[in-house]
Amino acid sequence: MLGEQIIKGLAVTAKNFFGSYVSKERLTTVQYPEEHLAQKENTRQFPFLVYDGDDWEKGLRCVACQICEKECPPKCIYIVKSKDKKPDYKGQPQLYPLTFDIDISVCMSCQICVEVCPFESIKMDTKFELSTDDRFSGLLLTKDKLAKSNRYYQKMHPQDAAESDAVIAAEKAKAAVEAKAKSDAQAKANAAAAAATVPISALAPTPSPPAPAAN
């Protein structure tokens, strides 16, 4: 009969109306500023710079190689290289960025900078509440705002951070082995030089250490 289905429909909506007051499970809305939904493992918003240890200026992994700057599709990264060198996490003297700016009003969160970085130094952050009343300098993140500790990264993305830490540990181990080999060779050469006659050795140039095997 005409109208039956309308009555059924009205019953459904009435059930929803009263049900929403009775059972909280019906209401799927999250009251946002007070409540947050749990983020997915691979959430990513904008890049940040990783540092080791407690001092961000000392522990910054970035060596200002500018690969990310060149690869960035919307060109939102700006890097100025330093003149001097500082030892990096391997103890090797490296350049460091004097300026490292990311304009997040331009950034498109593509993660290409993260993929191309050979030093595990730029990673994606999950912070998204970045609204500001200053649309120019407020959205231009400088080095000090970008630098975040490795512990923060481990907490935020445990899986990715573990992988990144493994890569760094492997590199460090390799560097240590090489350094050992180098120092051994150096010691050997020194010993050989000491064994040779003094006048000849004084005339001859110091023997250069053998080149590292795998380089």
Partner 1 sequence: MFDKLDQIFVTALHWLVSFLPEAWRPLASSLICIAFILSVFPAVFSITTIFERKGIGRIQNRYGPNRVGIPFTKIRLAGFGQFIPDGVKMLTKEDIVPRAADKVVHFLAPVVMLIPVLLAYAVLPFGKNMTVTDYDAGLLFFFAVGGAVELSVFMAGWSSRNKYSLLGAMRAIAQMVSYEITLILSAVTVVMVVGSLNLNEIVAHQNQYTYGIAHWFVFTPWGLVGFILFFIASLAESNRTPFDLPEAESEIIAGYFTEYSGFKFALFFLGEYLGMFAIIGLGITLFLGGWSSPISFLAWIPSYVWFFTKLMAIVFIFIWIRATLPRLRMDQLMNFAWKFMLPLALMNILVVGIWHYMAADWQRWLVCSAIIFGAYVVLGRGLMHNQKLGKRIYRYAE
* Binding positions for partner 1, rule: CB under 8 A: 1-3, 6, 9-10, 12-14, 16-17, 19-21, 26-29, 31
Closer to partner 1 by CB, 12 or 191: give it: 12
Beta carbon of residue 21, minimum distance to partner 1 (angstroms, whole number): 7
Closer to partner 1 by CB, 7 or 200: give it: 7
Closer to partner 1 by CB, 1 or 37: give it: 1
3-state helix vs strand vs coil in the chain, percent to 5: 40, 15, 45
Euclidean distance between CA atoms 156 and 171, whole angstroms: 23
Beta carbon of residue 89, minimum distance to partner 1 (angstroms, whole number): 48
Beta carbon of residue 128, minimum distance to partner 1 (angstroms, whole number): 21
Amino acid present at 96:
Y
Phi, psi at residue 172, to the nearest 5°?
-60, -40
Residue 64: is it exposed, middle or buried by C-beta count within 10 angstroms (0-12/13-18/19+)? buried
Residue 66: is it exposed, middle or buried by C-beta count within 10 angstroms (0-12/13-18/19+)? middle
Beta carbon of residue 52, minimum distance to partner 1 (angstroms, whole number): 43
Closer to partner 1 by CB, 19 or 93: give it: 19
